[in-house]
Amino acid sequence: MIASTQLSSSSLTPSNSTSETVAPQIELPIGTKVRLELAMPLNSKTAQQGDEVVYFVSEDVVSKYGEIFIQRGARATGEVTKVRRSKTLGRKGMLEFSVDEVEAVDGTKVPLRSTVNRDGKSRGGTITLLSVFATPAWPFFLLIKGKNIYLGQGTPIRAYTDRDTSIEVALP
């Protein structure tokens, strides 16, 4: 009697006894809130359009199961998109800047969306009121300047993820 042997293609493949553990990829959904803080002060008097703005994440961004997508302290970047210095006649300064991306735990750049627009204080009403009551001194009121906007280091900023992004998270 002759014994027959059947070979399948899977039995010909060498087994990999040293299998690597692959970190699972989890989807970071669009619209996820990312809390940031300014890493440096911004001032409408000194800022220029196109200047880089640096932020740090102030709270971990986690999945509903507790995996960390973006760690507290991660660096985020954006840029100054519009700036207007304060002017005479009490016209206020204005500063507009964006939040563009943040680095996830696996090094992936996650696109963010947020545009921050802040205005200084206008003194136009004060000038009008004072010029009515102090008519002989009206030319001096034309020299009153509005306020520039100043945002200190650590100012909180809210941003949101701009698209679904797959992130490799560490296994517990």
Residue 18 lies in a domain: no
Which tens digits make up the pLDDT trace of 79-97? 999 888 765 555 577 888 8
Residue 29 lies in a domain: yes
The CA distance from 76 to 103, in Å, is 7
CATH number of residue 119's parent domain = 2.40.128.260
Min mean pLDDT across 27-31, 102-106, 145-149, 166-170 is at 145-149
Residue 133 lies in a domain: yes
pLDDT of residue 122: 42
Beta strands 109-113 and 115-119: pairing type? unpaired
Residue 145 lies in a domain: yes
State the total domains in the chain: 1
The residue with greater pLDDT, 9 or 31, is: 31
pLDDT of residue 36: 95
Residue 172 has pLDDT above 60, yes or no: no
The CA distance from 166 to 146, in Å, is 47
With contact defined as beta carbons under 8 Å apart, do 169 and 28 qualify?
A: no
- The pTM score is 0.67
Residue 75 lies in a domain: yes
Which tens digits make up the pLDDT trace of 27-65? 999 999 999 999 999 888 888 999 999 999 999 999 888
User: Mean pLDDT in the chain?
Assistant: 75
Residue 153 lies in a domain: yes
pLDDT of residue 139: 54
For 55-122, the three-class secondary structure string (H helix, E strand, C coil) is EEECCCEECCCCCEEECCCCEEEEEEEEEECCCECCCCCEEEEECCEEECCCCCEEEEECEEEEECCC
Q: Is the dihedral of CA 69, 73, 74, 79 positive or negative?
A: positive
pLDDT of residue 25: 85
With contact defined as beta carbons under 8 Å apart, do 38 and 150 qualify?
A: no
Q: Which domain holds residue 98?
A: 25-168
pLDDT of residue 120: 45
Residue 155 has pLDDT above 50, yes or no: yes
Which of 45, 42, 107 is CA-nearest to residue 79? 42
Residue 124 lies in a domain: yes
Q: In one letter, which amino acid is 118?
A: R
Residue 128 lies in a domain: yes
Beta strands 25-28 and 115-119: pairing type? unpaired
pLDDT of residue 117: 59
